């Protein structure tokens, strides 16, 4: 059965518009704001384990929540607003698509994800055979 | 650029056990939209309907304990009912694709999230990132 893992964490503060547009990644403040990125050596044991087990099919990180756009239709009008749909404390920061034998296995996989230690992971079953 | 489209729809309260059929137009079954994407230069990578958020499981794993809770990570009346991953030249093309999403006609909203694209070749076993 296929499952979606929405990987959720607390909203990061919005960078200044100038920082977002010009992305001066070399600034020391920015490096301190995201120490885990700077410290990354490319290893991701969770991913290695789940890919080798054959349970993790796909997934990626999403860019920061404030880069979202939300589209609605009111009458004949299409409305586009900046920001995510929901005003929630936690936001989706990434996703993984799993193929697991059961919900129990999907929950076990989710519980081992490093973000589960400080954020939360929503596990949702796919509708099978529904396009 | 790759984008995740998150389709939000009204969550039918806690009445459901997740076995109700999905709302129309939230998946890929509406072929006209998929055809339109080709004309917009938008490539559809993936997408699915998800079972109701009411039957989601949210996982937190702090300090060696695994805490499970029923339901989505955020309490809200409207929840994610499906998703698509698209690839296109820029945000304008993604907005154009989202604005024609068939679920909008059913009262859903579509949130567009840029994907960090940390994987190299777009293959399914790519790396997820540096948490």
Inter-CA distances, A13 with A1, A91, B91, Å: 36, 12, 22
Q: What is the distance between the alpha carbons of residues B43 and B80, in angstroms, rounded to a whole number?
A: 22
Which one is predicted more confidently, A36 or A17? A17
Kindly give the interhelix angle for A45-53 and A103-112, rounded to the nearest 10 degrees: 160
Query: Which band of pLDDT confidence, cut at 50, 70 and 90, is reported for residue A7?
Result: very high
Q: Does A102 touch chain B (CB under 8 A)?
A: no
Q: How confident is the model over B3-8, as a mean pLDDT?
A: 96
Interval B91-109: pLDDT, tens? 999 999 999 998 888 889 9
The reply to whether A109 touches chain B by the CB within 8 Å rule is no
Residue A18: the pLDDT is 58
**Which residues touch B54 (CB under 8 Å, ≥6 apart)?**
B11, B12, B13, B14, B16, B17, B18, B70, B71
Q: pLDDT value at position A58?
A: 95
- Other CB atoms within a 10 A radius of the CB of residue B39 amount to 8
Name the band, by pLDDT with cuts 50, 70 and 90, for residue B18: low
pTM: 0.81
Q: What confidence score (pLDDT) does residue B85 get?
A: 96
pLDDT value, residue A29? 45
> Regarding predicted confidence, which is higher, B87 or A33?
B87
Partner residue opposite A85 with nearest CB, options B8, B22, B128: B8
Q: Give yes or no for residue B30 having a pLDDT over 60.
A: no
Nearest to B131 among A6, A114, A123 (CB): A114
Residues 6 or more apart in contact with residue B92 via CB below 8 angstroms: none
Question: In 3D, which of A46, A62, A47, A60 has the Cα closest to residue A12?
Answer: A62
Q: State chain A's mean pLDDT as an integer.
A: 84
Name residues 53-92 of chain A within 8 A of B (Cβ).
57-63, 65, 67-73, 78, 80, 84-86, 88-90, 92
Q: What H or E segment, with its residue span, contains residue B95? A: helix B91-99
pLDDT of residue B19: 56
**Are the C-beta atoms of B50 and A126 separated by less than 8 Å?**
yes
Amino acid A34: pLDDT: 38
């Amino acid at each position: 059965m296929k499952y979606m893992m929405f990987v959720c964490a607390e909203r990061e503060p919005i960078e200044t518009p100038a920082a977002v547009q010009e992305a001066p990644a070399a600034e020391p403040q920015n490096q301190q704001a995201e120490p885990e990125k700077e410290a990354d050596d490319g290893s991701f044991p969770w991913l290695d384990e789940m890919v080798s087990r054959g349970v993790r099919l796909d997934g990626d990180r999403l860019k920061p929540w404030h880069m979202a756009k939300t589209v609605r239709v009111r009458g004949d009008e299409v409305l586009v607003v900046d920001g995510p749909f929901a005003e929630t404390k936690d936001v989706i920061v990434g996703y993984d698509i799993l193929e697991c034998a059961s919900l129990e296995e999907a929950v076990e996989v989710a519980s081992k994800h490093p973000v589960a230690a400080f954020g939360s992971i929503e596990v949702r079953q796919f509708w099978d055979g529904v396009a | 650029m790759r984008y995740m489209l998150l389709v939000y729809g009204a969550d039918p309260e806690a009445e459901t056990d997740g076995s109700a059929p999905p709302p129309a137009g939230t998946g890929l079954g509406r072929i006209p939209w998929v055809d339109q994407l080709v004309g917009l230069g938008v490539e559809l990578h993936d997408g699915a309907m998800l079972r109701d958020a009411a039957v989601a499981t949210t996982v937190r794993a702090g300090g060696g304990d695994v805490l499970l809770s029923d339901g989505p990570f955020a309490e809200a009346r409207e929840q994610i009912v499906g998703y698509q991953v698209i690839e296109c030249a820029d945000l304008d093309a993604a907005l154009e694709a989202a604005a024609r999403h068939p679920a909008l006609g059913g009262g859903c909203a579509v949130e567009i999230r840029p994907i960090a694209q940390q994987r190299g070749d777009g293959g399914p076993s790519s790396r997820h990132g540096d948490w």
